[in-house]
Amino acid sequence: MAEIVHVPLDGGRAYDIHIGAGLLTNVGEVVNGVARSNRAVIVSQPPIAKHYAKTVADSLVAAGFDAPDVVLFPAGERYKTHRTLEKLYGALYELRPAIDRKTLLVALGGGVVGDVVGFLAATYLRGLDYVQVPTTLLAMVDSSVGGKTGIDYRAGKNLIGAFHQPRAVFADTATLRTLPVRELQAGSAEVIKYGVIRLPRLIDDVIASSEFGTICGPRYPHAVLSGAIRRSCEIKAEVVTRDEYETTGLRAILNFGHTIGHAVEAATNYRRYKHGEAVAIGMIAAACIGEVAGVTPPQVRDDVRRAVFNAKLPSALPDDVSDDALIALLGRDKKSENGAPKFVLARALGDVVSGVAVEESAIREGLAMQRAKYTAEGVPS
Ligand code: NAD
Ligand code: GLY
């Protein structure tokens, strides 16, 4: 049984997030209701396509679509680039019969696939419809919802992009069974984030789920996991609907932990940490900086750290990246104004404030606190 979270955007752009185990077989049926033609192209990565592309393609054909083309690009954040995009434009251009503006793109994969395919859909032929079929926990709770699409540029994360909402989202929790456990843990960082910004009980859900490692085991609390996905999507849907283009400061709360997190990812060339791991480090940094700035009580820092630690995520800043290097990267963050970074800081669990300008001296003091308190345990090898 799928649960549905509605994203009530205006202008005919409202869509549903379908959440449930085994719903890939129903993608075609639901997509039929939103597609403008019977032509679809599945875009994915080899590790995902080998498990799930046929199921999605069969479901589309069963619903009356032409057999969809499947276009693949390599897995990894380092492929979230204009080079990949250029190759994907070429692959779409070469398809025969030629695709047209009514063709539907199906983004089958994690956040990298979703962001790249969303941007492909936003730009090719001046805009195609697309649906998101997230296959990582991170993509199910965050990146597949809300229409932020894009690619990385040089040292900048998601510097090139567009807002382009999907027509539907299908989060089949059964796909998480093939997800490496480290990716599952990385995704739980974004669930912890929702706990900090809105709903503290999500932190307990993450801790309850993470004790079991992979979701394959018979004792794994699936209901806890799917409940956490639904609640995370409800928060994201509400925030995105009220501040779709991030103009009021509300949507910015979704970036709790991302300011330093993005800098850590960039400073380590997007290779050492999973995005969620960098966000975990960034959430501890935000708590420390918030404490120095007089916004975050020490108890909240302890709670965030407990959540991160229990979810087997890293807390420590990388020893080989200096504070100078991190601070230099902050000026390039998309949320910076005149080169000055803006932070999301926690006043309590479930209550954050966005757009806070913090003096560089306080940022340095917060980073020093993090380095002193949290050492290398939990850092991925
Ligand atoms: P990812 O997309 O790189 O996926 C992780 C790895 O798991 C990849 O190797 C992928 O091929 C593999 N994989 C995915 N699903 C699988 C499955 N079910 N079984 C086996 N292997 C599978 O990483 P991610 O954590 O999903 O996404 C991170 C990206 O999301 C970052 O680029 C980040 O910037 C972006 N993001 C975007 C938003 C947004 O609002 N658009 C929000 C958060 C994060
Ligand atoms: N992941 C942040 C946002 O969607 O705004």
Q: Decide if 364 contacts 210 (C-beta within 8 A).
A: no
Specify the residue with its C-alpha closest to ligand 1, atom 35. 111
User: 361: how many CB neighbours lie within 10 A of its CB?
Assistant: 9
Cα separation, 47 vs 342, in Å, equals 37
Q: Decide if 326 contacts 261 (C-beta within 8 A).
A: no
With a 6 Å cutoff on the Cβ, whether 75 touches ligand 1 is: yes
Walking along the chain (381 residues) 10 residues at a time, the average pLDDT comes out as 94 97 96 95 98 98 98 95 98 97 98 98 98 98 98 87 98 96 95 98 90 82 93 98 97 97 93 96 98 98 95 96 96 70 96 96 98 73 34
How many whole angstroms from its chain centre is CA 79?
16
* Closest ligand to Cα 7: 2
How many whole angstroms from its chain centre is CA 113?
11
Classify domain 181-373 at the CATH superfamily level: Dehydroquinate synthase-like - alpha domain (1.20.1090.10)
CA angle 266, 267, 273 (to 5 degrees): 70
DSSP string, 78-124: GG-SHHHHHHHHHHHHH-SSPP-TTPEEEEEESHHHHHHHHHHHHHG
Distant-in-sequence, close-in-space partners of 34: CB < 8 Å, separation ≥ 6: 15, 129, 131, 167, 168
Instruction: Give the pLDDT confidence score for residue 381 in this predicted structure.
Output: 34
Instruction: Give the pLDDT confidence score for residue 249 in this predicted structure.
Output: 94
Element (H or E) spanning 355, and its range? Answer: strand 351-357
Whole-number CA gyration radius for the chain: 20
Catalytic, 258? Answer yes
Domain boundaries, the chain: 3-178, 181-373
DSSP string, 291-349: HHTT-S-HHHHHHHHHHHHHTT---SPPTTS-HHHHHHHHTTSTT-BTTB-EEEEEEET
Instruction: Give the pLDDT confidence score for residue 1 in this predicted structure.
Output: 73
Cα separation, 53 vs 66, in Å, equals 15
DSSP string, 137-168: HHIIIIITSS-EEEEEETTEEEEEEEE---S-
Class assignment of domain 3-178?
Answer: alpha beta
Q: Measure the CA dihedral 333/302/277/348, to 10°.
A: -50
3-state secondary structure at position 172: strand
Instruction: Give the pLDDT confidence score for residue 216 in this predicted structure.
Output: 79
Give the DSSP letter of residue 31.
H
With a 6 Å cutoff on the Cβ, whether 183 touches ligand 1 is: yes
Instruction: Give the pLDDT confidence score for residue 125 in this predicted structure.
Output: 98
Catalytic residue among 167, 193, 275, 301: 275
Catalytic, 18? Answer no
With a 6 Å cutoff on the Cβ, whether 209 touches ligand 1 is: no
Distance 318 CA to ligand 2 centre (A): 25
Catalytic residue among 255, 274, 342, 365: 255
